[in-house]
Amino acid sequence: MEQARPPIITILGHVDHGKTTLLDYIRKTSVAAKEHGGITQHIGAYQITHNSKPITFIDTPGHAAFEKMRSRGAKVADIAILVVAADDGVMPQTSEAIKHIQEAKVPLVVAVNKIDLPGINIKVQMEKIKKQLSDRDVKLEEYGGDTPLVPISAKTGEGVDKLLETIELVAELHELKADPQAQVAGVVIEAMLDKFKGPVATILVRNGTLNKGDQIMLGGIKGKIRGMFDFNMKAITEAGPSTPVEILGLEAVPSVGAKLGEEPKEMEKAQVQSLVDKLKQGENKTLKLVIKADKQGSLEAIQAGLEKHNDERRVVEFKFLGTGDIVEDNVKLASSTGSIVIGFNIKVLPAAQKLADTDHVLIRTYLIIYELLEEMEEVIEGLIKVGQVEEVLGKAKIIAEFPHGKERIAGSRIVEGSIAKGQRIRVVREDTIIGETKLKSLRKVKEEVNKVEKGNDCGMLFEPQLDFQIGDTVESFRVI
């Protein structure tokens, strides 16, 4: 039987307009967290009771998460609160948020925040903001539309109660219903890999009831719910509609926006497939990457996440790591080295995209690190499966050459691993493979040896002879 369910609220708006402060204020004043020892751990959402009615808040403000969910077809929020600072008015991210909300067709409540700020003329600012909103097709109640506007101060709390009442009214108007007995439906709003707990995901249950012990499929990832916690980290055994819960027991970390019961998306599979295909066509079977990220911290996290695949064999090679948008130079480098360009939380400049299109360079951008890692992991696994992954066993620099009858000996210094007779050998100049060959002779000082280790010099005679030159690199490798 369908019954009323609590509304799920998301808060959007320009940076520094007070989203976090508002979420904190509402949580502090309306959540009975002390019952559980006062520990309020962040799980990505919380529930309050206002006038004895529950309201669920998604605790991660920002468009990225909202857009991510929407792009995966996941409708999570029932109502969006658009926070606009009274002093600043509508700013670029406010406009962006309005666009997202309108496209997602989510009912909107405007909260004009920071009305406590001294030195602002509230009346003038209010009129300005209303005009800015109308210009962006937000139909305010005052002008006969259906969008309420509530002046608030997230700092002093003024107007927040009115805002919550308004939310209740909008929720009632939309008659939000769900059936606790129905097949369970839910969306991931946060997920991560915990060092101790393993994959952890916060799910917002949309319909039905999630029970501890349930076997689930979440965005293509299997799991059995080993543990379930409410937003106060209190262990629970069941979670009905509009309840945020943290669950343990998944086999891997799912993506934000992943749905309960969802198999891996066909589209995503196809994208990964084409990545693998592209690599298979290339000469070198390592995944070469040019990576651009918003900040150094993200870059390091991405590098560390990918580097771990190089434990046993070299599958990932970083051609460039840097911060900032993807520019033409990045694409040029990717084109000449056979790399893929990866962007995290950055833009692809139009000129760079154009060059990528003509040069057939693949650019992939992500907003969430573990989605990036997840997709790259699939590519790496794909490469391993097709037996196309190379392990470089040793590297040597050619530092001299000596004539030997009609042939030439490459005087080399081993700089990595070791090089041995019988291995597949190739000569590389910068990023170009000059050719593949074998060792006819390997000498350490004057003695013929089978293997030379890092730090030692040796003389190499190739068969077939290659047109090597001083400065080239000799690599020994095998295909796994």
Q: Considering only 8-16, 93-101, 309-317, 408-416, which stretch makes contact with ligand GDP by CB under 6 A?
A: 8-16
Q: Which of 5, 7, 9, 18 binds ligand GDP (CB under 6 A)?
A: 18
Starting at the edge strand found earlier in the chain, the sheet holding 215-218 runs 185-194, 198-207, 244-250, 221-229, 215-218
Cis ω before 7 (30° cut-off from 0): no
Of 41, 33, 79, nearest to 57 by C-alpha is 79
Q: How far is 307 from 311, CA to CA, in rounded Å?
A: 8
Any contact of residue 61 with ligand GDP (CB under 6 A)? yes
285 is written with which tokens? 């079977």
Any contact of residue 15 with ligand GDP (CB under 6 A)? yes
Any contact of residue 233 with ligand GDP (CB under 6 A)? no
Any contact of residue 20 with ligand GDP (CB under 6 A)? yes
Q: Which of 36, 155, 314, 424 binds ligand GDP (CB under 6 A)?
A: 155
Any contact of residue 153 with ligand GDP (CB under 6 A)? yes
Q: How far is the CB of 81 from ligand GDP (least distance, A)?
A: 11
Q: Which is nearer to ligand GDP, 151 or 394 (CB)?
A: 151
Burial class from Cβ neighbours inside 10 Å (0-12, 13-18, 19+) for residue 140 reads middle
Q: How far is the CB of 60 from ligand GDP (least distance, A)?
A: 10
Q: Where are the alpha helices (DSSP H) in 284-349?
A: 296-307, 328-337
> What letter represents residue 82's amino acid?
L
Q: How far is the CB of 189 from ligand GDP (least distance, A)?
A: 17
Q: How far is 84 from 65, CA to CA, in rounded Å?
A: 19
Any contact of residue 21 with ligand GDP (CB under 6 A)? yes
Q: Which of 113, 202, 242, 437 binds ligand GDP (CB under 6 A)?
A: 113
Q: How far is the CB of 108 from ligand GDP (least distance, A)?
A: 17
Cβ atoms 337, 319 nearer than 8 A: yes
Q: How far is the CB of 21 from ligand GDP (least distance, A)?
A: 3
Q: Considering only 15-23, 51-59, 66-74, 194-202, which stretch makes contact with ligand GDP by CB under 6 A?
A: 15-23
Which 3 state secondary structure label does DSSP give 434?
strand
Q: How far is 398 from 429, CA to CA, in rounded Å?
A: 10
* CB within 8 Å of 408: residues ≥ 6 apart: 401, 402, 465, 468
Any contact of residue 110 with ligand GDP (CB under 6 A)? no
Q: Which helix (H) or strand (E) holds 133?
A: helix 122-135
Any contact of residue 179 with ligand GDP (CB under 6 A)? no
Q: Considering only 16-24, 70-78, 126-134, 306-314, which stretch makes contact with ligand GDP by CB under 6 A?
A: 16-24
* CB within 8 Å of 105: residues ≥ 6 apart: none
Q: Which is nearer to ligand GDP, 133 or 272 (CB)?
A: 133
287 is written with which tokens? 């995944």
Q: Which is nearer to ligand GDP, 190 or 374 (CB)?
A: 190
Burial class from Cβ neighbours inside 10 Å (0-12, 13-18, 19+) for residue 116 reads middle
Q: Which of 19, 70, 72, 408 binds ligand GDP (CB under 6 A)?
A: 19
Q: How far is 330 from 326, CA to CA, in rounded Å?
A: 6
Q: Considering only 18-26, 199-207, 240-248, 338-346, which stretch makes contact with ligand GDP by CB under 6 A?
A: 18-26
Q: Which is nearer to ligand GDP, 159 or 219 (CB)?
A: 159
Cβ atoms 473, 397 nearer than 8 A: yes
Any contact of residue 63 with ligand GDP (CB under 6 A)? no
Q: Considering only 14-22, 264-272, 332-340, 448-456, which stretch makes contact with ligand GDP by CB under 6 A?
A: 14-22
Q: Considering only 11-19, 27-35, 260-268, 308-316, which stretch makes contact with ligand GDP by CB under 6 A?
A: 11-19
Q: How far is the CB of 158 from ligand GDP (least distance, A)?
A: 8
Q: Which is nearer to ligand GDP, 167 or 245 (CB)?
A: 167
Any contact of residue 89 with ligand GDP (CB under 6 A)? no
Q: Whose CB is nearest to ligand GDP?
A: 18
Q: Which is nearer to ligand GDP, 12 or 279 (CB)?
A: 12
Any contact of residue 116 with ligand GDP (CB under 6 A)? yes
DSSP assignment, residue 406? T
Which 3 state secondary structure label does DSSP give 187?
strand
Q: Which of 114, 206, 292, 319 binds ligand GDP (CB under 6 A)?
A: 114
Strand ranges (E), 7-163: 8-13, 45-50, 53-58, 79-85, 108-113, 149-151
* CB within 8 Å of 315: residues ≥ 6 apart: 286, 287, 309, 380, 383, 384, 389
User: Which residues partner with 336 through β-bridges?
Assistant: none
311 is written with which tokens? 């434990």
Q: Which is nearer to ligand GDP, 19 or 426 (CB)?
A: 19
Q: How far is the CB of 24 from ligand GDP (least distance, A)?
A: 7
Residues that bind ligand GDP (CB under 6 A): 13, 15-21, 61, 113-114, 116-117, 153-155
